[in-house]
Structure 1
Amino acid sequence: MTEEIMKSLKASAWTLVLAAGATLSAFGAEGGDAATTNAPEPQIQFADPDYDFGRINSGESVKHTFVFTNTGNAKLEISAVHPSCGCTTAGEWTKEVAPGQTGSIPVQFNSGSYGGVVHKTVTVTSNAKNQPSMVLQLHGNIWKAVDVNPQYAVLQVNSESVSNSTVSVHVVNNTDQPFTLTNPVSNNKGIAAEIKSVKEDKEYEVVVRTVPPFDPANTQGLITMQSTLSNAPTVTVTVLVIMQPSIVVSPDRVVLPAGKLAEQTTSTVLIRNQLKAPLKLSDAQLNSKAVKFEVKETEPGVAFTINFTFPAGFEFPAEGGLELTVKTSNERTPLIKIPLSAAAEHAAAGAPTVTLSPRALSTLPSPQSK
């Protein structure tokens, strides 16, 4: 009996030892996870990442300082602060912040000529584990004594319409003061304006037009007018003139794969007249007998297609230089030239556009406002 009791006590002791060992192992494992979880890392938290500056007058500046805290347990480093546009700038910000400490990012927004509701952002880059890239926001309403709508007077003209193109801009008084708009002056002799009253003391229509002879190389202008408002003594309208081509060729060249063609290949070029005067094409010529082409008038005086057929086995000559020319009835664009080339030649040539000679009106890039 005594021997049985001793065996039972020994078995219980071993059970306790194993259980204790398992408990210690589990505790050790949990301790390891905790050590991993508590590895030093910086964290960033802003007191308020969204700032509403309310309503300001046009031309005023907004200054605001964003405050943040390092809520982590390692040093926080702010590596970059990038405003979304040139009208918003960042001052000298806190570069390094110890755990539990705060830093700041001063920002200034210059309203300039902005009007109405605006929204700007500032992107903050740091080594924070929770938000390595954080976007701060500024927004509000900018009040102007006078609104100009649209902000730019845009005239799209071609050689035919350049002498009679007009566009209207409306000038609205947002104050309770009497308002008169007079004396429109243009800094471009090819652009003029006329003022018409829409609603007494409140609204005027400014009709902007081109004046012949218009210089296609001078496509920007500024209309300055006198106002009776003390807080807006002058009102300006920026004018942009976009010269449209008389004739559009699409695509501007024919490009085929390099090497011999495995099978017969066709390609089509579209030509469209942008003017009211009917267009006529004549005397189309191609400096290759191997390539066949056909000119079709799909819309009388307006639209044409040129269909090319390349036979199987065709390969562009090493010297290149294939080109179709066609005469037109347009005085400013008497000749259209359409290059034909292999893909390798096209890339090497930098993809030049179709040649309209000698005085073709080409689309000009949109001018920048002053």
Structure 2
Amino acid sequence: MRLNIGSTFAVRPPGILRGVTALLVFSWMAVSGLLAGPLLEFEAREIDLGEITRGESRDGTFTLHNRGDQPLLIHRVKPACGCTLADYDASIAPGESGEIRVTVHTETLQGPIARSIGVDTNDPEAARISLIVRADVKYSVMLLPGANARMSNVRNGMEKAFILVKKEPTELGSLEIRDLQATIPWITTQATRLTEVRPAGDGMPTGRAGDWVIELGIGADVEYGSRNERITFKTGLTREPEISFPVGVVVRPPVNLSHEALTIVPGSPVEPLLLTVRRKLDPSTLKITAEPKTIDVTVESTGPRHYSVAVRWDGEQPEEGSLSISVAEMTPYVIPVIRKAAD
């Protein structure tokens, strides 16, 4: 008796063979536990928070399930925008559900928005996924080029900031900017109503009659360093009667120093203070004074903008003083001088 096995299988469609083989392999892997692990499932990867009046915050929740047989771990949840904060359940047991809770802050937003959130998990098939939060931020006025401002005395053209304020078309009433103020006194503020079509400033959008231009500047008696402050004003409108937006300010001192403090120990040499006057400032206006007057200061030029400053302070008792460094009309930059007792 002869069996022709080859001819028997030859008449079967190859697709059926592949399907049967895959099913057998899958069943064997499932029984042997090779497919064990977490299995992430979201009820929705996008949520819509609806209409929000600018300045308000709105919460939303993404619900997720672990359909696997091992714990699902959420390694990281990272919003792409600083306006969105997220909290989440870091571990979800098999068969259980968890949440990713988000809060959207809208003070710098306007109009329809979509903010993404990256999620890293231990599910091999969903190691990195992206969620989307949508909303429609309603507002009374549009701030251009954006609902924030930046100023700096380091780069040309950034000593002032301009914001074009336009009334939103569906808002009733007349835009009237009043009580414009900054959270610190040395940021100067001015609001001007436009009476004709013209650019709001260098590189700014064009404004029309009835729009307003807010001009911010860096005034006198500044505090050196980087800081975030706020600008507020009243609009005379119903939906947003008051507007507040952030302004980032960077004010560098007139000089660069080798160190930001001097320590003097009687009987020990004092390292000279190396000083460079910033570009765009006149080095001939450099002036250094000491307090108390018993501190002796000697300034030696070592280059067109470079100086070596020697400081001597006789005495044995510990005491604190200061050096005041000024250039042109800028606010003096003060560094501490500390005299310590000899060991």
TM-score computed with the length of structure 1 as normaliser: 0.51
State the shift of 1:279 in Å.
Answer: 7.3
CA contact (8 A) 1:93 1:103 kept: no
Specify every segment of 5 or more residues in structure 1 that has no aligned partner in the other structure, as ranges: 1-8, 20-26, 253-270, 281-324, 338-356, 362-370
- Give the match for residue 179 of structure 2: 183
Q: Quick one: structure 1 residues 168 and 124, their matched pair in 2 at CA, closer, same or farther if it must change by over 3 Å?
A: same
* Alignment deviations for residues 47-99 of structure 1 (CA, whole Å, 9 cap, x no partner): 32233445432234444443445555x2453445624257323355882233x
Aligned 1:85-124 pairs, distance under 5 A? 87-90=84-87, 95-98=92-95, 103-116=97-110, 117-124=113-120
State the shift of 1:142 in Å.
Answer: 2.1
CA contact (8 A) 1:184 1:193 kept: yes
Aligned 1:1-370 pairs, distance under 5 A? 34-36=27-29, 39=33, 40-41=35-36, 42-72=38-68, 74-80=69-75, 82-84=77-79, 87-90=84-87, 95-98=92-95, 103-116=97-110, 117-126=113-122, 128-149=123-144, 150-157=146-153, 165-174=159-168, 175-198=171-194, 203-216=211-224, 221-244=229-252, 246=254, 274-275=279-280, 277=282, 326-327=301-302, 334-335=307-308, 359=325
Distance in 1 separating the partners of 2:282 and 2:59 = 58
Distance in 2 separating the partners of 1:60 and 1:37 = 50
Q: Quick one: structure 1 residues 217 and 54, their matched pair in 2 at CA, closer, same or farther if it must change by over 3 Å?
A: closer
SS of equivalent to 1:36: helix
Q: Quick one: structure 1 residues 211 and 47, their matched pair in 2 at CA, closer, same or farther if it must change by over 3 Å?
A: closer
State the shift of 1:32 in Å.
Answer: 6.8
SS of equivalent to 1:107: strand
Q: Quick one: structure 1 residues 187 and 62, their matched pair in 2 at CA, closer, same or farther if it must change by over 3 Å?
A: closer
Distance in 2 separating the partners of 1:166 and 1:61 = 30
State the shift of 1:221 in Å.
Answer: 4.6
CA contact (8 A) 1:45 1:68 kept: yes
State the shift of 1:240 in Å.
Answer: 3.8
Distance in 1 separating the partners of 2:137 and 2:46 = 17
Q: Say how many residue pairs are matched.
A: 248
CA contact (8 A) 2:160 2:218 kept: yes
Distance in 1 separating the partners of 2:246 and 2:63 = 40
Q: Quick one: structure 1 residues 47 and 222, their matched pair in 2 at CA, closer, same or farther if it must change by over 3 Å?
A: closer
State the shift of 1:180 in Å.
Answer: 0.6
SS of equivalent to 2:325: coil
SS of equivalent to 1:230: coil
CA contact (8 A) 2:83 2:105 kept: no
Distance in 2 separating the partners of 1:186 and 1:33 = 67
Distance in 2 separating the partners of 1:219 and 1:78 = 38
State the shift of 1:136 in Å.
Answer: 2.4
TM-score computed with the length of structure 2 as normaliser: 0.54
Distance in 1 separating the partners of 2:189 and 2:75 = 47
CA contact (8 A) 1:118 1:142 kept: no
Q: Quick one: structure 1 residues 359 and 195, their matched pair in 2 at CA, closer, same or farther if it must change by over 3 Å?
A: same
Distance in 1 separating the partners of 2:225 and 2:44 = 50
- Give the match for residue 365 of structure 1: none
Instruction: Pick the structure with greater CA Rg.
Output: 1
RMSD: 4.7
Deviates more, 1:165-174 or 1:75-84: 75-84
Distance in 1 separating the partners of 2:63 and 2:228 = 44
Distance in 2 separating the partners of 1:276 and 1:358 = 17
Deviates more, 1:48-57 or 1:178-187: 48-57
Q: Quick one: structure 1 residues 142 and 93, their matched pair in 2 at CA, closer, same or farther if it must change by over 3 Å?
A: farther
